[in-house]
Amino acid sequence: MSSEKLSVKQARLPECIGKTIKIEGWVRTRRDSKAGFSFLEINDGSCLSNLQIIADANLANYESQIKTLNTGASVAVEGLMKESGGKGQATELVAKSVVVYGEADPETYPLQKKRHSFEKLREWAHLRSRTNTFGAVARVRNCICNSIHQFFQEQEFLYVHTPIITASDCEGAGAMFQVTTLDLDKIAEKEIKYLDFKQDFFQRRAYLTVSGQLEGETYACALGKIYTFGPTFRAEKSNTTRHLAEFWMIEPEMAFYELEDNMDLAEAFIKRIAKDAITLCPEDMQLFNEHVEPGLIEALQKVVDSQFVRLPYTEAVEILTGCGQKFEYEVKWGSDLQSEHERYLTEQHFKSPVILYNYPRKIKPFYMYCNDDEKTVRGMDVLVPRVGEIIGGSQREHRLEVLEARMAEQGIPAEDYWWYSDLRRFGTVPHAGFGLGLERAVQFITGMTNIRDVIPFPRFPGNVEF
């Protein structure tokens, strides 16, 4: 018997009826019927649903193996696909053989049928992908990544790989992980007070990147429209539901784009990701809609269909100071908005995504374009309900003198950024770009409240297990 190997997703389709097939996966449940057979529900991760298997008592290993199969055991099943009379499925597989690859002892296997909290499942990050919710998160995350590439590729953006190890601090926030091959134990032993980084691997201080933007700009200023998609690192001690120490960022950068063009692109981008998730992952999205965030799909559809609010920072401050709402942090022109303020604007005041722009120059990095008012820069943040800031970006300062003055203002050593300034020295052009935090996008689309649950192995202060 040669049987076609199918995924559960394929085998659930009615066109498989009548075929002899093989599937491989993990047992979710086993029920024994008094009529002399057992039902097995098999999942292989290809979709949320399981495939129902009918395993007859005549099978050679029925008593010795099949009847004792537990949740989590791994099997290969060959047999004939039949139309199913049961609810929730079009097909079922009548087993001719069931091979058991590995058993899962119910005394010690953590993922029993009972529901576990997301907190508990974080301790079993190596197994949680076997649950319905985390399987769905993985599939939707994959769908989002695919949409991102398609969105940019369709518009002839080039995918550029910027370095992971770098000497520059793009965001100037100083929240960088240092990369070194110096022997820290030896240094401690010798009680050396001043380190000579000439002895280090790169012969100077080096870090894990917080953003690929600066290097991305060099490619945009040669090739037009580019995007990066890679891991970024921030050593912020933020123990929140929206911060990770290691996260993935997508950073488009476009020559000949100004702030308005940048906003248009960011808005179209978010809408595309949301629309694709709804249409391409209906089953998984339904799970989030029912069990994680009621009303999610309708809310996302509204985001897809409506226009984002665009609001200057100064007007946002006026709304926040005049709204009568008590905030933990006071709102003052010139200070950064806290997530409570951002969420008030997007969730309560506008009930829509909001693009805030023209921020005070003092609170934004050196590379943002300075407005003529000498007080604000052409930076923009996209805020969405439930998550807050999902995108940060700006038009870039392309005038050499202004850029140099800004570096001086912020105490940034211009000589370290000679190559960045060169873009302004030779054929400078207006350009703009932004960064989307992938995990915040996955939170927004799935409704998952904690960012640690939308990346397979979250890194945060005090946690680098797995």
Residue with Cβ nearer ligand 4AD (48 or 170):
170
DSSP lists the bridge partners of residue 262 as none
Nearest to 307 by CA among 354, 262, 343: 354
What does DSSP assign to residue 2?
A: -
Q: Does 365 bind Mg ion (CB under 5 A)?
A: no
Cβ closest to Mg ion, residue 296 vs residue 383: 383
Is the Cβ–Cβ distance between 93 and 15 less than 8 Å? no
Beta strand spans in 190-284 (E): 206-208, 225-233, 246-255
**With respect to Mg ion, which residue has the nearer C-beta, 48 or 387?**
387
Number of Cβ within a 10 Å radius of residue 105: 9
CA atoms of 420 and 29, how far apart (whole Å): 59
| Alpha helix ranges (H) inside 362-453 | 400-409, 418-425, 438-446
- Taking residue 93's Cβ as centre, other Cβ atoms within 10 Å add up to 29
Q: Of 54 and 390, which has the nearer Cβ to ligand 4AD?
A: 390
Closer residue to ligand 4AD, CB minimum distance, 30 or 361: 361
Q: For ligand 4AD, which is the closer residue by CB, 6 or 356?
A: 356
Beta strand segments in 143-272, E: 158-159, 165-166, 178-179, 206-208, 225-233, 246-255
Q: How far is the CB of 440 from ligand 4AD (least distance, A)?
A: 4
* Nearest residue (CB) to ligand 4AD, 28 versus 378: 378
**Closest by alpha carbon to 213, among 177, 261, 179, 262?**
262
Site residues for ligand 4AD per CB under 6 A: 170-171, 211, 213, 234, 236, 243-244, 247, 249, 251, 389-394, 433-435, 437, 439-440
Are 244 and 452 spatial neighbours (Cβ–Cβ below 8 Å)? yes
Name which of Mg ion, ligand 4AD, none residue 25 binds, using a CB cut-off of 5 to 8 Å depending on partner kind: none
- Minimum distance from CB of 389 to Mg ion (Å)? 6
383 binds, among ligand 4AD, Mg ion, none (CB under 5 to 8 A by kind): none
CB of 364 to Mg ion, least distance (A): 9
Residues 91-150 that bind Mg ion (CB under 5 A): none
Minimum CB distance to ligand 4AD, residue 171 (Å) = 5
148 binds, among ligand 4AD, Mg ion, none (CB under 5 to 8 A by kind): none
Stretch near Mg ion under the rule CB under 5 A, chosen from 11-19, 279-287, 294-302, 384-392? 384-392
Least Å distance, CB 119 to Mg ion, is: 27
Q: Residue 300 CB, nearest distance to ligand 4AD (Å)?
A: 17
- 445: phi then psi, degrees, rounded to nearest 5: -75, -35
Question: Binding partner of residue 311 among ligand 4AD, Mg ion, none, CB under 5 to 8 Å per kind?
Answer: none
Structure tokens at 227: 């995007």
Beta carbon nearer to ligand 4AD, 41 or 439: 439
C-alpha span between 336 and 334 (Å, rounded) = 7
Residue number with CB closer to ligand 4AD (42 or 391)? 391
- Letter for the amino acid at 120? K
Indicate the DSSP class of residue 369: P
Identify the three-state secondary structure at position 210.
coil
**Encoded tokens for 312:** 């200057």
Listed in sequence order, the residues at least 6 apart from 418 whose beta carbon sits closer than 8 Å to its beta carbon are none
Question: Whose Cβ is closer to ligand 4AD: residue 79's or residue 393's?
Answer: 393
Radius of gyration of the chain (CA): 27
- Residue among 24, 1, 29 nearest 11 (CA): 24
Q: To the nearest whole angstrom, how small is the minimum distance from the Cβ of residue 235 to Mg ion?
A: 16
CA 236 to chain centre: 18
For the CB of residue 145, give the shortest distance to ligand 4AD in the complex, in Å: 15
Using the minimum distance from each CB to Mg ion, give the nearer residue, 81 or 337. 337
Q: Which residue is nearest to Mg ion (CB)?
A: 392
Residue 458 touches which of Mg ion, ligand 4AD, none (CB < 5 to 8 A by kind)?
Answer: none
Q: What is the smallest separation between the CB atom of 399 and ligand 4AD, expressed in angstroms?
A: 18
Reduced to 3 states, what is the DSSP secondary structure of residue 47?
coil
Output the smallest distance, CB 149 to ligand 4AD, in A: 17
Q: For residues 42 and 31, what is the distance between their CA atoms, to the nearest angstrom? A: 12
Instruction: Indicate the angle between helix axes 132-154 and 259-280, nearest 10 degrees.
Output: 140
Compute the least distance from the CB of residue 262 to ligand 4AD, in Å: 9
Contact string 385-404 vs Mg ion (x = CB under 5 A): -------x------------
Which parts of this chain interact with Mg ion (CB under 5 A)?
392
